[in-house]
Structure 1
């Protein structure tokens, strides 16, 4: 047989040493698109649609792919699946792993796409791109995509308290601003809906032109105060559960207690730092900064060499908390090495670039906290709480 003919018949898209059926899942609420590439089928990718959330149909399709691959080659092949991280969470990934299927969840922003102004985008194209990215990842090609480390159900549940408190706090702010806006339209300022005497002060209010509050407006504000009081009670409940969570975590790991021992780190910041970031496993300080989205983003081409700022590609809640903590660190830990570094940089720049310098301090602080709770490296000059 000629050499060219043998090359044409060989499955060029799959390497023999991988020995697997590669599958990508494009998930939506109404349907799931399954794109697969099997040994012995050449370079053509097959596509199949099942109804959304129909897990039995998905597993049946996987079994059918394995049966066809065995009929073609006489060998059994394992399944390797990939899906994008999104609103579906990780429950599908957990089902696949429970069924013995090698499953991955990829960061969709890490997959290379066309840079044309108008690029074609369909579920079919995205499914094929996912399969190609999975193939390259399994071949060991560097930086082809970023696979997520899927959290355990316990880790996911541990994050909910601090996230729920943030949502409740934002909702409380909206109701407080609505009450102030309604009163400002009547010429009234200085009323604080969060004070304990809010009901009594509401009865004593008068409009800017000396009239008592209109009945409908007073009733509307009273209902807003009902919502605010409910939110205040719910925030107290969440904070109590958060403190219990920190106490339980401190019993199994010293990290939460170590964080709370630092002056300037309270229960809320300690819970966010622990549940959102420091409870994870990192190999080096670059991974620590990248997870928080505080890693620098260079732009270098030819003679152009500049910094675009931080990547903002990590955990946004953790990044916001770290920047806030950096400001508090300068105030409550003025004699620490990190605070002295910040003040020296600001002085050198004659007070300019203070915001960008505080972000750099947040990155240094997060790395220092990671070393502190994992290796016991005490932050130089840091003062512990009484």
Structure 2
């Protein structure tokens, strides 16, 4: 009789991978090429439903890539959700071995979908965007400091530094556009997204690398991934204020910037926002609703492989 597929939990650290499954028990391998070969050889002996690991700032990427390359579905999940699940089950102790076991129980309950492998272009694009965000933050910080300097030589040095950072940002923007246009899939998504009034280079690049599921899910699922699905707060006769939370912060930031422009210059979003204004909705409610509306439009366009049209 064929053994039932087993979920595998991996607690990831910089040097080690703590692994647990019901059939193999708990064991540890190095977070290295040799250690991953050992892990894959062990998993080949059982029927695997999937492997689940937490996002750890990049230390999980090598394991994820190796498992997916060998045909083993691997999911990278939100650590906060796993911790909340553990607390909900009464498991307050926390060790690497326990965390791997909790991941197995979490996976059996949630059955997370495999995390798709990022293409080489998407992976590099993500790195460039992260570096660009640091540059932009530095420009913002230095510009804010500039007005407080009294010494002229310091003002000149600070101004020169800001000018240099802006040149670096411009160079990164050109590199981002060239990278996108060199990849057929990315270039197609880029053309569709940027055809929408309000969505520019950085919005498109962010959605391409941070939301690869765009165009493959329904509108509710994609809104939930982006953190734009309002959660009800109700109990008995009490009807609480619905608010958004969770999701992918980088995607939300990009959509926020696009929606701010869109409610002024995108005919569909402008009319949509004006209806909410007429109902005396607060600005934050209007902008979040516009973000979700824009995301829904982009999702439908990518699913149908269609460019923007007003009608």
Aligned match for 1:161, one of 128, 136, 139? 128
Question: Given that residues 105 and 150 in structure 1 are in contact (C-alpha distance below 8 angstroms), is that contact kept between their aligned partners in structure 2?
Answer: no
Summarize the alignment of residues 91-106 of structure 1 with structure 2, pairs less than 5 Å apart.
91-99=62-70, 101-106=72-77
Larger Rg: 1
What is the TM-score with the length of structure 1 in the denominator?
Answer: 0.67
Displacement of 1:149 in angstroms is: 3.4
Question: Given that residues 55 and 76 in structure 2 are in contact (C-alpha distance below 8 angstroms), is that contact kept between their aligned partners in structure 1?
Answer: yes
For 1:354 and 1:345, the matched residues in 2 are separated by 9
- What's the counterpart of residue 205 of structure 1? none
Which one is further off, 281-290 or 103-112?
103-112
- The CA deviation string for residues 211-238 of structure 1, in whole angstroms up to 9 with x for no partner, is xxxxxxx2x5554344333322211211
Aligned match for 1:60, one of 15, 21, 38? 38
> Are 2:258 and 1:287 aligned?
no
Q: Could you tell me which runs of 5 or more consecutive residues in structure 2 were left unpaired when the two chains were aligned.
A: none
Displacement of 1:115 in angstroms is: 4.2
Q: Tell me the secondary structure at the aligned position of residue 92 of structure 2.
A: coil
Change (3 A) 1:17 1:106: farther
Change (3 A) 1:90 1:263: same
Question: Given that residues 195 and 307 in structure 2 are in contact (C-alpha distance below 8 angstroms), is that contact kept between their aligned partners in structure 1?
Answer: no
Aligned match for 2:46, one of 39, 61, 77? 77
Q: Could you tell me which runs of 5 or more consecutive residues in structure 1 were left unpaired when the two chains were aligned.
A: 1-15, 40-45, 67-75, 138-142, 187-201, 203-217, 382-386
Change (3 A) 1:175 1:85: same
Displacement of 1:326 in angstroms is: 1.5
- The CA deviation string for residues 234-257 of structure 1, in whole angstroms up to 9 with x for no partner, is 112111112323443578754422
- What's the counterpart of residue 28 of structure 1? 13
- The CA deviation string for residues 81-131 of structure 1, in whole angstroms up to 9 with x for no partner, is 332122114221112333454433333334322249993322232111112
More helix by share: 2
Aligned match for 2:258, one of 325, 349, 370? 325
Displacement of 1:307 in angstroms is: 4.2
- The CA deviation string for residues 331-364 of structure 1, in whole angstroms up to 9 with x for no partner, is 113xx24322211221222xx5121121111101
For 1:30 and 1:270, the matched residues in 2 are separated by 35
Root-mean-square deviation (CA), in Å?
3.3
Change (3 A) 1:34 1:270: closer
Higher RCO structure, 1 or 2 (CA under 8 Å, sep 6+) = 2
> Are 2:304 and 1:344 aligned?
no
Summarize the alignment of residues 124-163 of structure 1 with structure 2, pairs less than 5 Å apart.
124-134=97-107, 136=108, 143=110, 145=112, 148-163=115-130
> Are 2:258 and 1:354 aligned?
no
Matched residue count:
306
For 1:278 and 1:63, the matched residues in 2 are separated by 30
Aligned match for 1:113, one of 58, 74, 86? 86
> Are 2:241 and 1:263 aligned?
no
Question: Given that residues 292 and 319 in structure 1 are in contact (C-alpha distance below 8 angstroms), is that contact kept between their aligned partners in structure 2?
Answer: yes
